[in-house]
Amino acid sequence: MKSNTIRNNVLSRAGVITVLGLILLVPLQMVAGLVEERKTRQKEAETEVTSHWASSQQVTGPILLVPFSSGAPKKLRGKSLYILPDTLSITGDVAPEKRSRGLYDVMLYRSGSLKLAGTFSPSSLNYHGYPLNWDAARVVMMLSDSRGVMQEVRLKWNGSGRTLQPGTALPDINGAAFNTWIGNPKKHKGTHRFSCTIPLKGSTSLAFVPLGRITRGALSSSWPHPSFFGSTLPSEEKVTDEGFSATWSVTGPGSGLPRRWVTGHGPGPAKLNQAAFGFSLYQPVDVYQKVTRAVKYGILFILLTFLTFFLYDLFFSLGLHPLQFMMIGCALVLFFLLFLALSEHVPFTLSYIIASFSVIGLIAGYSRAILKENNRGTVIAGLLTILYGYLYIVLVTQDYALLLGSVALMGVLSAVMYLTRNIDWYSLKEQV
């Protein structure tokens, strides 16, 4: 009977501690909700800044548009034939600009040297379908956000300069249209050559649709943290602390785009977006993402710390009260809130160090009192330092987070099993 009483006493205390740990999930979730709220505010700040600047830009063009003539069937009247270039070259340098709105930084950019050049071969103009009004042919460029055009865009077509004028959006392509009349391209013998320089500004990312049968891109910037995206990654790239340079090479089959189509029968905006390539001005320290990942380890921190105090209580019969466990747990939760608050004002590593050592000092000082000996508080401080150090490594090495977490749990379980291997759980002295 006495054995059962002792067993129930130990198990009930372990159960109470476990329940306390689960209760602390509530404030942990509140911290997670606060992180989401701050992320929403960050998005609002980005939207506010870009509303006065320009959004992310995607350049589509140039495309040769030739309307069908009055002699075409009625279903084709008012429609056009879209013809894509044979070659397209994209070059330029992008200058990053960082703007702040309150606590948040927003990445913007501008480029005065963004140049598109290429050719239309005579064979691409051979169309044996319904009659076309070649005299009304025009070249069209599309941009995601027309506010990003800093001054007029001049198109040089076969050596003759023309100004691209704003026009109506095309049903097959998203974005704002700019176009110019070029005259009858059939009257020109040989290859048609074009070039234009676009003085462009935007935010966060810049992308291009590879319309050429052969498309080559060569872009550079002084921003040292690019994130390349799209269906085609750079064939060559160089990233240093002074910036980056990258080149792309895309063929027609690689882009998956048809060489020409009739209005309403094109690949559509989704297909064009899928074929695009480009880069974004990535900010390497995403504070809210790291805090969110840290909060996910919160319950593990609480349970491991509670386990350490429970083992002290078990071995030395200290009679720790559940309220003492609760105060320790609240200090552990406070770390994540302090980490979040500091990380919005100081660099990630410094904010983590300040938050972790503040909590370690608080718990270590409290432990010296409730564990009855100073050296026990020192041991707690050492264990917490290892724990927070391990978490930091997990946060900065995302690719190995699962591996490191699994190894840590295996190590903790092994240590607990070793320390408690000789305990006779049924013959423990009853602790008051």
Average pLDDT for 28-53:
87
φ, ψ of residue 79 in degrees (nearest 5): -105, 170
Comparison of pLDDT for 53 and 105, the residue scoring more: 53
Binned at pLDDT 50, 70 and 90, residue 6 comes out as very low
pLDDT exceeds cutoff 70 at 1:
no
Binned at pLDDT 50, 70 and 90, residue 392 comes out as confident
Q: Convert the pLDDT of each residue in 69-111 to its tens digit.
A: 988 888 888 899 999 999 999 999 999 998 888 778 889 999 9
Average pLDDT for 298-313:
84
CA dihedral 74, 75, 76, 77 (to 10 degrees): 50
**How many percent of the chain have pLDDT more than 90?**
44
Count how many residues are written for the chain: 432
Pairing of strands 87-101, 214-221: parallel
pLDDT exceeds cutoff 80 at 5:
no
Give the pLDDT confidence score for residue 62 in this predicted structure: 93
Give the pLDDT confidence score for residue 39 in this predicted structure: 85
Give the pLDDT confidence score for residue 109 in this predicted structure: 95
pLDDT exceeds cutoff 70 at 399:
no
Give the pLDDT confidence score for residue 298 in this predicted structure: 87
Q: For all residues of the chain together, what is the average pLDDT? A: 87
Q: Convert the pLDDT of each residue in 277-286 to its tens digit.
A: 999 998 776 7
**How many percent of the chain have pLDDT more than 70?**
94
CA dihedral 390, 392, 394, 396 (to 10 degrees): -150
pLDDT exceeds cutoff 50 at 432:
no
Q: In this structure, how many other beta carbons lie within 10 angstroms of the beta carbon of residue 128?
A: 4
Give the pLDDT confidence score for residue 428 in this predicted structure: 56
- The tokens describing 326, both together, are 């609760």
Give the pLDDT confidence score for residue 425 in this predicted structure: 64
Domain boundaries, the chain: 2-41+288-419, 55-283
φ, ψ of residue 193 in degrees (nearest 5): -120, 140
pLDDT exceeds cutoff 60 at 431:
no
**SS3 sequence, the chain?**
CHHHHHHHHHHHHHHHHHHHHHHCHHHHHHHHHHHHHHHHHHHHHHHHHHHCCCCCEEEEEEEEEEEECCCCCHHHCCCEEEECCCEEEEEEEEEEEEEEECCEEEEEEEEEEEEEEEEECHHHHCCCCCCECHHHCEEEEEECCHHHECCCCEEEECCEEEECEEECCCCCCCCEEEEEECCCHHHCCCCEEEEEEEEEEEECEEEECCCCCEEEEEEEECCCCEEEEECCCCCEEEEECCEEEEEEEEEHHHHCCCCEEECCCCCHHHHHHHHCEEEEECCCCCHHHHHHHHHHCHHHHHHHHHHHHHHHHHHHCCCCCHHHHHHHHHHHHHHHHHHHHHHCCCCHHHHHHHHHHHHHHHHHHHHHHHCCCHHHHHHHHHHHHHHHHHHHHHHHCHHHHHHHHHHHHHHHHHHHHHHCCCCCCCCCCCCC
Angle, nearest 10°, between helix axes 374-396 and 287-296?
130
Give the pLDDT confidence score for residue 66 in this predicted structure: 94
Q: Convert the pLDDT of each residue in 9-39 to its tens digit.
A: 667 777 888 888 888 889 899 998 998 898 8
Average pLDDT for 250-274:
89
Give the pLDDT confidence score for residue 162 in this predicted structure: 92
User: Of the CATH numbers 1.10.1060, 1.10.3470, 2.60.40, 1.10.10, which one belongs to the domain with range 55-283?
Assistant: 2.60.40
Q: How far apart are CA 222 and CA 240, in angstroms?
A: 9
pLDDT exceeds cutoff 70 at 366:
yes
Give the pLDDT confidence score for residue 10 in this predicted structure: 67
